[in-house]
Amino acid sequence: MALSAITRAAVLGAGAMGSQIAGLLADRGIPCDLLDLKSADEPSRLAESAIERLRTLRPPPVADAAALDLIAPGNFDDDMGRLADADWVIEAVSEDLAVKQAVWARAARFARPHAIISTNTSGIPVSSIAEALPPGLRPRFLGAHFCNPPRYLPLLELIETPDTDPEAAEVVSDTAANVLERGVVRARDVPNFIANTIGVYALMSIVRAADELGLGPAEVDAVTGPAMGRPVSATFRTLDVVGIDVFVAVADNSRRAASSERERETLTVPSYMREMAARGWNGQKAGRGFYQRVETERAREILALDPATLEYGPRSSLEAPSLERARHADDPRGKVADLAGSDDAAGRLAWRALSQMMAYAAEKMDRVADDIISIDRAMRWGYAWELGPFETWDAIGLAGSLQRMEADGLSAPGWVSDLAESRGSFYRAGPRGKLQATASGSWISVPAPTIPE
């Protein structure tokens, strides 16, 4: 493996993610070709239009708009030859295995010797995409999953296949950390990797809890946003930003990969969400989803959907003492512990959502990652949570919360129970730095992060 640095890149696919990845590279001084399908009228119109959208997108995808001049538009038919100049070729076409394999079958002929090639898939196993490549190229192929929007969510999940040359992974990791300022996390090659495995389940747990507790979108978002250490988009606003149709497809994919009936039940999308997608109420891009912005005689107003009737009306507010305290709290550990331990409407929702998420993260730990810090960092860097699942569990208190979960009929893996019996926690101070618990009952060092924490 001769390549030691990335000096030029190429991105295949000029959609929302591909164009913003190209923008991130350019913003860090890496010239980049951006290629997409050929248009009949103007051959590279799709890529050219994507670059122009980056100039007006809000929030801005680059720190300096002048950097976008480093992106050269092109198309798959006329400009694949440019891949011979790229040190790193990144594929970011639609989340469809057949489409990705078809693009790589074409691109593989042009990638230069020793170049690194990667896919930005958010959930398709990387090994299955690699099947489209000649065996000689597979050691240079890996998954490098950026999160949307890449400028503001610093996670990069690095996924190796059994054929990936470790040196290729190290070059991408070093470039991502030191040039692109990414928080690099090693994930296992399973559907949805770390962030989307945990994130989709966490969102669906909240949706199901909302239905069971009879809470509307605005009431839920008041609890599951900053009050619970999550972004201001909270839950239902996040679903509107993602797109209801997109989220339904992602949840369905997660459900197909589920290993237990309880997991499949949680990941089953409610009928009203499917009806929303069928009606085209797909969120922000459609002008209506769980929320709808309307013009009235007095001002612009935001209405909320009633899932039971599929009618829009004024947003309901949720008043609870724990929610009021959380709004004024600065310490993320203290506020999440207080919220989850409170016996009011906000506390009950928070506990239901957090307990489900924590148990699931523990169950999936060995499947998606090598250690618990990888899961915690993936959720903080990729979903903008203030605390990851195991950090949240430590904040709430392991032994007491496990007893409460068991009373709710929610079980945790044996290694978590063993840790609770010893009055332990997932993290502790060691003689040479922070330590993390393992599923085997031992303690190992927490590796230094690739970005400041």
pLDDT in tens, 70-126: 999 999 999 999 999 999 999 999 999 999 999 999 999 999 989 999 999 998 999
Write the pLDDT tens digit of every residue in 10-61. 999 999 999 999 999 999 999 999 999 999 999 999 999 999 999 999 999 9
The tokens describing 49, both together, are: 């239009």
Residue 89 confidence (pLDDT): 98
In this structure, what DSSP letter does residue 283 have? B
How remote is the C-alpha of 55 from its chain's centroid? 24
Whole-angstrom distance, CA of residue 66 vs CA of residue 63: 9
> For residues 212 and 405, is the Cβ–Cβ distance under 8 A?
no
Write the pLDDT tens digit of every residue in 113-162. 899 999 999 989 999 999 999 999 999 999 999 998 999 999 999 999 99
Q: Where are the domains of the chain?
A: 9-187, 195-364+379-386
- Nearest alpha carbon to residue 55 among 2, 100, 13, 19: 19
Residue 390 confidence (pLDDT): 98
CB atoms within 10 A of CB 97: 14
Q: Pairing between strand 155-159 and 141-146?
A: antiparallel
The tokens describing 277, both together, are: 């997608």
Q: What are phi and psi of 46, to 5 degrees?
A: -60, -45
- pLDDT band at 3, cuts 50/70/90? low
| Strand order across the 433-437 sheet | 427-430, 433-437, 443-445
Q: Is the pLDDT of residue 189 over 60?
A: yes
This prediction's pTM: 0.94
Q: Pairing between strand 291-295 and 300-306?
A: antiparallel
Q: Pairing between strand 116-119 and 141-146?
A: parallel
Q: Tell me the average pLDDT across 215-235.
A: 96
> For residues 200 and 248, is the Cβ–Cβ distance under 8 A?
no
Q: Is the pLDDT of residue 423 over 90?
A: no
Residue 297 confidence (pLDDT): 72
- pLDDT band at 5, cuts 50/70/90? confident
Q: In the chain, what percentage of residues exceed pLDDT 90?
A: 91
Q: Tell me the average pLDDT across 346-364.
A: 97
> For residues 437 and 372, is the Cβ–Cβ distance under 8 A?
yes
Pick the CATH number of 9-187 from 3.40.50.2300, 3.30.110.30, 3.30.1330.10, 3.40.50.720: 3.40.50.720
In this structure, what DSSP letter does residue 117 have? E
With tokens 């090639």, the residue in question is 117
With tokens 């950390």, the residue in question is 177
Residue by residue, DSSP assigns 160-174 as --TT--HHHHHHHHH
- Nearest alpha carbon to residue 308 among 348, 269, 346, 271: 271
At 290 the three-state DSSP class reads coil
State the average pLDDT for the chain. 95
Write the pLDDT tens digit of every residue in 425-444. 999 999 999 999 999 999 99
Are 9-187 and 195-364+379-386 the same fold in CATH?
A: no
At 82 the three-state DSSP class reads helix
Write the pLDDT tens digit of every residue in 259-310. 899 999 999 999 999 999 999 999 998 999 999 999 877 778 999 999 999 9
Q: Is the pLDDT of residue 4 over 90?
A: no
Q: Pairing between strand 311-314 and 9-12?
A: unpaired
Angle, CA of 195, 198 and 202, to the nearest 5°:
125
Pick the CATH number of 195-364+379-386 from 3.30.1490, 1.10.1040, 1.10.540, 1.10.3470: 1.10.1040
In this structure, what DSSP letter does residue 141 have? E
Residue 1 confidence (pLDDT): 45
Bridge partners for 162 per DSSP = none
Alpha-helix runs per DSSP H in 57-194: 97-107, 126-130, 166-178
Own/partner contacts of 37-40, CB < 8 Å, gap of 24 or more, are 37/75, 37/76, 38/75, 38/76, 38/77, 38/78, 39/75
Q: Tell me the average pLDDT across 374-401.
A: 97
Whole-angstrom distance, CA of residue 3 vs CA of residue 29: 18
Residue 298 confidence (pLDDT): 74
Whole-angstrom distance, CA of residue 163 vs CA of residue 135: 9
Residue by residue, DSSP assigns 326-345 as HHT---HHHHHHHHHT--SH
In this structure, what DSSP letter does residue 37 have? P
The tokens describing 356, both together, are: 């489900």
Residue 391 confidence (pLDDT): 98
CB atoms within 10 A of CB 123: 19
- Nearest alpha carbon to residue 62 among 70, 46, 284: 70
